[in-house]
Amino acid sequence: MRKHIVAGNWKMNTTLQKGLELAKNVNTQISGNDVIVVLCSPFIHLSEVSKIINKDALFLGAQNCADKENGAYTGEVSAAMIKSTGASYVIIGHSERRAYYGETNEILATKVKLALQYELTPIFCIGEVLEEREAEEHFNVVKTQLNEGLVDLSDENFSKIVIAYEPVWAIGTGKTATPDQAQEMHKIIRDHIADSYGQKIAEGTSILYGGSCKPSNAGDLFTNPDVDGGLIGGASLNAEDFMGIVTAF
């Protein structure tokens, strides 16, 4: 049985105080269900959030990590630093990092390896922009992101990775992929993983959907056989909405 995961990506939202309030609110509503729930807060919140959550029921993640191990890289935050806060997940390759900060698949491949080296679970994001879908290139785009971002990984390391399929046209737009569109792509991704790493690893890989997921559509998305959870942006900033998604399984 692969893991069901709902991860909240707070992005660059919440002051430290507001973030702690949000984390406390989610923490009180978590009752140790079958879903792994992850809060991906801004870097500076991590160690404080880590102190107040029940770590048996709630996990902590960062939204990015450096592509260098340590050293003179002003302003960067390494995988080792993230791990030292008590976090266990890190989002890598979010479309906003790719689009606004020029993160290429090559850079992301380095980040994935560093995350694994420091025992963080990468949530590796892939997804096409609208023009690519309209040109019917979306399957190829996603396969290339997988091929180039997740390179030279042993079977053991690949099986530690979580994939998040996030069609860029659905992120923060209110326009969600239909359950059929999500299932179609998730199946393509799983089959592609099976071609490279075998059926057993593909069947064990959690593939999350992200893009305007909310309590009202989460249930329909999550009933698909290849949709194993969600990466949630906007709706993760409200504890009730976020928990509405968590309990949609």
Q: Catalytic one among 94, 96, 128, 138?
A: 94
Q: Which of the ranges 12-20, 110-118, 131-139, 230-238 carries the binding residues for ligand PEP, by CB under 6 A?
A: 230-238
> Per-residue x/- marks for ligand PEP, 42-81, CB under 6 A?
----------------------------------------
**Nearer CB in complex with ligand PEP: 197/245:** 245
Residues forming beta bridges with residue 7, ordered by sequence position: 38, 231
Pick from 206, 211, 243, 246 the residue near ligand PEP by CB under 6 A: 211
CA angle 95, 220, 89 (to 5 degrees): 40
Q: Tell me if 172 contacts ligand PEP by CB under 6 A.
A: yes
Q: Tell me if 171 contacts ligand PEP by CB under 6 A.
A: yes
> Per-residue x/- marks for ligand PEP, 174-193, CB under 6 A?
--------------------
Q: CB of residue 56 vs ligand PEP: minimum separation in angstroms?
A: 26
**Nearer CB in complex with ligand PEP: 120/233:** 233
CA angle 167, 40, 238 (to 5 degrees): 85
Q: Tell me if 149 contacts ligand PEP by CB under 6 A.
A: no
Q: Catalytic residue at 166?
A: yes
Q: CB of residue 110 vs ligand PEP: minimum separation in angstroms?
A: 21
Task: Indicate the residue whose CB is closest to ligand PEP.
Answer: 233
**Nearer CB in complex with ligand PEP: 38/231:** 231
Pick from 233, 239, 242, 248 the residue near ligand PEP by CB under 6 A: 233
Residues binding ligand PEP (CB under 6 A)? 9, 166, 171-172, 210-213, 231-235
